[in-house]
Structure 1
């Protein structure tokens, strides 16, 4: 009788060398961040990065992260230098891109455009959707707003998931 554990999609390709796993996950963290980490950095006033909303004008007006700059993906090549500030001694800051959410790869396309221009860049996983769903304050054309945390994405009464 065949070993059904090896036929299961979860277990059929086990990691045989831990170094490969360490390398894989470290690489992901070099280029990805999430809404909780960005929120914590914004709240702490951490310097050295700029958050870029790569969506269109209507999406920006509907809501965006506080302190984010608006630069739709199609405009990155032509306007990045004027929109993204440089850090000390002309060194460019880290760019963190976001778009709608996990069902959209707009932040990935925006990150690629910044990388092609030589910027250090990370993609914010979860995008605007998870920012709002985790209960963080956002800005809209009518001012700051906030929704209660969705208990499927974040604990309702805690600052973060503590992961």
Structure 2
């Protein structure tokens, strides 16, 4: 166990951890903060749903644009003049992080919605459907 602790402490230096968490806060937004931002500055945020089209139609964050993985290469719906908030299914889903990395490499401002669509629904925030 002591060897494992030494590995962890060596890999996880306090400054490295501080840098990680500062960056994490800069590139993620919680559902409550996004909801507030949408109420205050609706035109300053661009919401991108990277879930599949079928799930998007069943329900999504109001105003979100669907951009499933097979269409990421098109960059359709992204806006270089706005903050693009990317979300997927849940906290366990890594599609949003993967998409955000790809979109950032293409020059877009991005943030990831923490907890994804599941967390948004848990907070009982409004959703839109296309069914």
TM-score by length of 1: 0.67
| Corresponding position: 1:132 with 2:121 | yes
One of 98, 102, 105 as aligned partner of 1:113? 102
Deviation at 1:21, TM superposition (A): 4.5
After TM superposition, the runs of 4+ consecutive aligned structure 1 residues lying more than 2 A away are 19-24, 45-49
Deviation at 1:116, TM superposition (A): 2.2
| Corresponding position: 1:70 with 2:59 | no
RMSD: 2.5
Deviation at 1:103, TM superposition (A): 1.9
The structure that is helix-richer by fraction is: 2
Is the radius of gyration larger for structure 1 or structure 2? 1
Q: Structure 1 residues 73, 16: CA separation in 2 closer, same or farther (over 3 Å shift)?
A: closer
TM-score by length of 2: 0.81
One of 86, 89, 92 as aligned partner of 1:100? 89
Q: Where do 1:1-150 residues align within 5 Å?
A: 13=9, 17=14, 19-78=15-74, 80=75, 82-86=76-80, 92-142=81-131
Deviation at 1:46, TM superposition (A): 4.6
Q: Which string of whole-angstrom CA distances, capped at 9 and with x for unpartnered residues, describes residues 95-128 of structure 1?
A: 1100011121111121122122121111111000
Count of residue pairs the alignment pairs up:
128
Q: What SS is found at the alignment partner of 1:58?
A: helix
Which protein has greater RCO, CA pairs closer than 8 Å, 6+ apart?
Answer: 2
Q: Which position in structure 2 is the counterpart of 1:148? A: none
Q: What SS is found at the alignment partner of 2:128?
A: strand
Q: Contact between 2:79 and 2:108, CA under 8 Å: does it hold in 1? A: no
